[in-house]
Copies of this chain bind each other. A is one copy, B any other.
Amino acid sequence: MKYTPMEPYQYKESYSPKSFPEFKSARQNHAVQRVQSLDELFAKIQLQDGMTISFHHHLRNGDAVMNLMLDEIIRRGIKDLTVAASSVFPVHTSLAKAIEANFVTQVVTAYMSGAVADAVSEGKCLYPCVMQTHGGRALSIESKKLKIDVAFIAAPAMDHQGNLSGRQGRAACGSLGYAIADAYYADTVVAITDTVEPLNHIDIPYICVDAMLTVDSIGDPAGIVSGTTRITKDPVGLAIAKKTVELMDAAGFIRDGLSFQTGAGGISLAVAASLHQKLKEKKVVGSFASGGITGTLVDMFEQGLFEKLYDVQCFDLSAVASIEKNKNHIAISASQYGNPYNPDNIVDRLDVVILGASEIDLDFNVNVTTGFDHRILGGSGGHADTAYGSKFAIIVSKLVSSRISVVVDRVTTITTPGDTVDALVTDYGIAIHPRHSELLEQLKKTTRLPMVSMKELLDIANQLCGTPQLIHPKEKVVALMEYRDLSLLDVIHQCDDSL
């Protein structure tokens, strides 16, 4: 059959989409359907017991979509779901409720805190949860190891065709990097928005979207700035930040073309501020900063200190404003960010990453997932991804906080293997991984930086705090630590809440 127009032309006052067959999605050969209610949505998606559903965390602690959907799931009594959320925040109380009543029986995520972390730590989730990295999560989805039946995507704005953008709307969050793999690979993709209008930039094309639901509010953008994304004001922390930049300089990294990332902890952010001064002093221009992007990095970029920002997630509203405004503030997917098998991944192009730690041990293994009491209080996010990819991964921390030492004999949980960590900067000195013995000798000879060994730091900490008493967890495994290549790195046991 050759292609030919068949209906003769006649002038029309207007074209109504209703008079024409609905637009088909190439992806699965069905329409992008606009549904009017949760009832209509659930009738369409046919969510069944045992399925896997996913969420992204770009609205962080301001997200309203996960609770909305889980409340409806509880109301409907759908059971035994796996929730694959890129991260989980304290706001997600409905997930905790759903776990305790077995509506949700597994959580797969890169970070969890609040009531969900407590529920999992206390053994209330039927199956062991899986703690991923941001890059590993993308890999698990792209390789189809993690199969998502229904992805619920909070979309700050959507156009009538069903294209999605994070950059417009009342709850604009900027990049939608963590939702890309879900949108590409989930069997059914549901977009939930509170703003339908023409888009300037499409983050997720309509061919990925199966159903569109409009709600009053997808969340509170003020919640984007939450948890770990504020710069420290503590003078000890600021001194550590300054020393970290001196270390970067002494190790030869402060030069044109520098690529840099910093985590969202208070001292890590202070390093960015110190680096700002140093780059200006030395008139150095970096090639890019990446990761979760903050106002601190936006300032440096807008002042020409970095040529580009690669943004998998906006950490604050300055970053949201910048990604809408600045051409070289570039949104990337989690796969482009940290999937180890993506040949263009950004973390492999990083010179230096600055990261925090709850614990770091004599082998430089880092824990940012659990407390010393085995209770889950966070997760890798991009920690293990950037440590692996970067040339030089620096952990920054006060040696002792609240009478607890960051340096320990052996971390409670391995989030990031010591194989991929290069230095620790504390208020009691700088430790360099033994694999960099030449650099260590050079630093000792040519700088006045206070170089120490990890063992010396441990001894100082033990003098200050006393040797810590190890806290033994219960036997039950409540979570598996999945490394970024999807291998099993460690396990988390149920915490003993009688202590």
Show the binding face of A for B, using Cβ within 8 Å: 2-12, 15, 17, 20-21, 23-24, 26-27, 52, 82, 84, 105-106, 108, 127-128, 130, 140, 142-147, 159-161, 184-185, 198-201, 205, 207-208, 308, 324-328, 330, 335-336, 340-344, 417, 419-420, 480, 482-483, 485-490
Select from chain B the residue with minimum beta-carbon distance to A80.
B2
In contact, A82 and B184 (Cβ under 8 angstroms):
no
In contact, B3 and A106 (Cβ under 8 angstroms):
yes
Min C-beta distance of A13 to chain B, whole Å: 10
Given contacts A20-B341, A488-B7, whether A26 and B185 have CB atoms under 8 Å apart is yes
Q: Which of B3, B17, B200, B489 contacts A108 (CB 8 A)?
A: B3
Consensus secondary structure, chain A interface: loop
In the complex the two chains form, what is the Cα distance from A327 to B167 in whole Å? 12
Q: Which of B15, B198, B327 contacts A340 (CB 8 A)?
A: B15
The 4 closest A-B pairs by CB, nearest first: A160-B343, A15-B340, A9-B489, A11-B419
In contact, A7 and B486 (Cβ under 8 angstroms):
yes
Stoichiometry, as copies per complex, reads: 2
Select from chain B the residue with minimum beta-carbon distance to A136.
B5
Given contacts A143-B21, A184-B207, whether A7 and B487 have CB atoms under 8 Å apart is yes
In contact, B7 and A160 (Cβ under 8 angstroms):
no
In contact, A4 and B480 (Cβ under 8 angstroms):
yes
Return chain B residues, CB-CB under 8 Å to A335. Answer: 161
Q: Which of B12, B327, B419 contacts A327 (CB 8 A)?
A: B327
In the complex the two chains form, what is the Cα distance from A487 to B5 in whole Å? 6
Select from chain B the residue with minimum beta-carbon distance to A11.
B419
In contact, B128 and A4 (Cβ under 8 angstroms):
yes
In the complex the two chains form, what is the Cα distance from A207 to B106 in whole Å? 28
Given contacts A15-B485, A335-B161, whether A142 and B23 have CB atoms under 8 Å apart is yes
